[in-house]
Amino acid sequence: MATASEPRPHTTLALIGWLALCFAAGIVGSIFAARAIPTWYAGLVKPPFNPPNHVFGPLWTVLYTLMAVAAWIVWKTRPSACRRRGLRLFLVQLGLNCLWPWIFFGTHQILTAFADLAALWAAILLTLLTFKKMSTTAAWLLVPYLAWVTFAGYLNFALWRLN
């Protein structure tokens, strides 16, 4: 039997589940990116401050981990309408996150991808604000993600304008 200081088995499994879900979204996106980066994306005119390609993998690894831990923390809170709303918002933003690489890299629709990013940004902010009602830690864990999506919006918009 787990002691008070040890995580309960179902709690640990839940963390593994949130990590798996977040990384699955990343894997889906990376499939489209991997095909397009050396071809279509390589031919685009890049804006100032465009990071080198090797930055994205480690950055998203950190972001998906932070996202999963944030969702797990909220999942562990007392069941409530707020928790349900927060986790639903989390799933919505994760879906929008998963869509972006397909739109951008898969269909090469740069402006549509920017619209997806705008919706993603709003969904992340709503998720963060809802998570904050249950856990300030969970909310803070989403701040780097929101910051990155803000920067990604700049990059996406600039790529649309330049190409």
Tens digits of residue pLDDT in 92-136: 999 999 999 999 999 999 999 999 999 999 999 999 999 999 999
Residues 57, 27: Cα–Cα separation, whole Å: 10
Q: Which residue has the tokens 């804006």?
A: 47
Average model confidence (pLDDT) for the chain? 94
Given a contact cutoff of 8 angstroms between Cβ atoms, the answer to whether 69 and 141 are in contact is yes
Long-range (24+ apart) CB contacts under 8 A made by 80-85 are 80/134, 82/130, 82/133, 82/134, 83/134, 85/130
The closest of 124, 135, 121, 123 to 83, measured between CA atoms, is 135
Confidence band of 39 (pLDDT split at 50, 70, 90): very high
Tens digits of residue pLDDT in 10-20: 899 999 999 99
Q: What is the pTM of this model?
A: 0.93
Domains of the chain: 9-162 (1.20.1260.100)
